[in-house]
Amino acid sequence: MAAKLTTPTKDSVKKALLDGATADDVLNAQRILRDTLGDEQLSRTASEYLGAEVDNAASNFIKSGLKNINSRAEQISALLAKDETGRALEGFRSALFRVLRESSKRVDPETGKTIPGVNTRKLADTIEEVRPYLEKFYGPDSMALLET
């Protein structure tokens, strides 16, 4: 039912309810929309402070290699620190998580196609490899969440 309420207006909510949606479906659609718009705002804010698209910046950071990652972490941290609201940092952390998750996709060894789920071993190894640099952006509680 949530698909019917991608932009919940008064009329679309009434129609969805007539088509069998429940009040929980309406609330879920509104939550998804709010979360999606919030994520987009955070991404735009981070992109503005970084001067680059935030997902690309996060991907380049993770892929920069251990030789350059410390200086890159310092540069990114300095740029994000200019945002007194902390929203740019939130946006970059979200992008880092997306990149970590994307780089840990499961792949069918026979077909080479992506299959649902995350390769948890690969994710854990990547997090461990860049842990000191991730800690510049994530606090202890957030790092604990990354590891679960």
Q: What percent of the chain has pLDDT over 70?
A: 93
pLDDT at 85 over 90: yes
Separation CA 65–CA 73 (nearest Å): 11
Q: pLDDT tens across 34-66, in order?
A: 766 767 888 889 999 999 999 999 999 988 877
Task: Give residue 36's identity as a one-letter amino acid code.
Answer: T
Q: pLDDT tens across 129-142, in order?
A: 889 999 999 988 88
* Total residues belonging to the chain: 148
For the chain, give percent helix, strand, coil, nearest 5.
Answer: 70, 5, 25
Separation CA 80–CA 49 (nearest Å): 6
Alpha carbon 40 to chain centroid, angstroms: 10
Separation CA 80–CA 36 (nearest Å): 22
Do residues 64 and 72 lie in contact, with contact meaning Cβ atoms separated by under 8 Å? yes
Sign, CA torsion 99/104/108/109 = positive
Q: What is the pTM of this model?
A: 0.72
Question: 99 — phi, psi (to 5°)?
Answer: -65, -45
